[in-house]
Amino acid sequence: MKRGWSMAVALTLLFCAPLRAQESDFDSARAPMDAADASEDLKKIRQELDAERKKLAEVERQEKSVSRQLENLGANIALTEKYLKRLARKKREVEKRHELTAATLDMSEVVYEKKKERLGVRLKYFYVANQKAKSEILLAAALPQVMLERFFDFRRILSQEKKELALVQNQKEYLAAQKEKLEKQAATLRAIERERKKEESRLLAAKERRQELLSGLRVQKQGHLASIERLKQSAAELARIIAELEKKRKTRPTTIPAGGNFADFRGELSWPVSGRVISRFGTHKDPVTKVNSFQPGVDIDASAGEQVRAVAAGSVAYSGFLRGYGKFLILSHGGGYYTLYARLEDVFVDTGSPVGAGDVLGTVSAEASALGSGFHFEVRKGKTQEDPEGWLR
């Protein structure tokens, strides 16, 4: 009896003791990428997005124009939308793995319970059979061969039960691993959802900022269009003034200014002011309105109050004010040649006064300098505008 109880205790300890894990029937159902892999993949995508945003921020810091800001916002929005799509795709992948893990876990728990129940029944039967076998072995002591056969039978049965115990224990460990995996996948899904909400908030802010810029741009565009229209009207008025001057000139005897024939100085005239040319002669497309407009002269980035000098000898043919030109002077140089000096602050000469090359005519407007429109200069042959840079050295 004592030997029978010892075997039962041994079997119970064997069932409860941790055994070396064997390959489970469900290992083949494992997903190709676990939660840790998914998190690492998302981390790489995030790093890529942050690197691109850093580049865009640097460009925006260096370039403050509205058009460039709109380009940057467009690029940022495109990046965010791309990232959100990748997040959605990653979420679907993790959800599928999560569902598979949950299904596998459910099935494994059913199999585990059945195996445990079946093993319990077999252990109980084995114990009862062992007690019966003990009596039979004692009664058959005179037959050593039978006793030996029964001994090996019990040993074989015990070995089989050990294998069953190992499988059940392995199934139990696999269930624990699947539960841990399920929890990690759930954590990854929660992290993806937080990231999605954060990025959607950024996307909304970027789109709102873009809308603000576009609204401001539309207002600015209307202002530019109005300014272009005023300049067209002023240019028409200026053409009328030049036409009147030409009409009067042709009624007077032809004279050559004291400084010589103006046409002989092409490419040799001194600049009326110092500074960088910010708008050149010819047709240009406005970066804001996208409307083509004609620049009849050059705009020069001159300092407010800088002296404006005559580029050649002549006489003051006209002095006045026009929108877009501000205060301006027209010098006549004979032979139908005229030079125009616009956006002046002060005017030091009177209409009809003779001037020599290099004489001070006035000063650059403070408003033109502050607004960035610059001092304006033109050269005309009758009604025809000519490129001033072809005359200046």
Place of tokens 């585990």: 112
Q: Quickly list DSSP for 83-129.
A: HHHHHHHHHHHHHHHHHHHHHHHHHHHHHHHHHHHHHHHHHHHHHHH
Place of tokens 């940057």: 72
Those residues whose C-beta lies under 8 Å from the C-beta of residue 342, and which sit 6 or more positions away, are 322, 325, 326, 327, 328, 329, 375, 376, 377, 378
**CATH code for the part of the protein at 258-390:** 2.70.70.10
**Cα 29 from chain centre:** 40
CATH 1.10.287 fits 2-221, yes or no: yes
CA distance 262 to 357: 11
- Span 213-230, pLDDT tens digits: 777 766 666 666 677 777
CA distance 157 to 248: 131
- Span 75-109, pLDDT tens digits: 778 777 888 888 888 888 888 888 887 887 787 77
Question: Alpha helices of the chain — where are they, by DSSP H?
Answer: 2-16, 35-62, 66-139, 144-249, 366-371
Neighbours of 76 (CB within 10 A): 23
Question: Residue 208: how many CA atoms within 13 Å on its side-chain side?
Answer: 6
Q: Where are the domains of the chain?
A: 2-221, 258-390
Instruction: Determine the average pLDDT of the residues in 178-182.
Output: 79
Q: Which burial class, exposed, middle or buried, applies to 18 when counting CB atoms under 10 A from its CB (0-12, 13-18, 19+)?
A: exposed
- Span 272-289, pLDDT tens digits: 999 999 999 999 887 656
Question: Residue 310: how many CA atoms within 13 Å on its side-chain side?
Answer: 26
| pLDDT band (50, 70, 90) for residue 376 | very high
| pLDDT band (50, 70, 90) for residue 61 | low
**Sign (positive/negative) of CA torsion 380, 385, 390, 393?**
positive
Beta bridge partners of 299: 279, 376
Q: Which burial class, exposed, middle or buried, applies to 27 when counting CB atoms under 10 A from its CB (0-12, 13-18, 19+)?
A: exposed
Domains 2-221 and 258-390 share a fold: no
Beta bridge partners of 332: 315, 338
- Span 5-28, pLDDT tens digits: 333 333 333 333 333 333 333 333
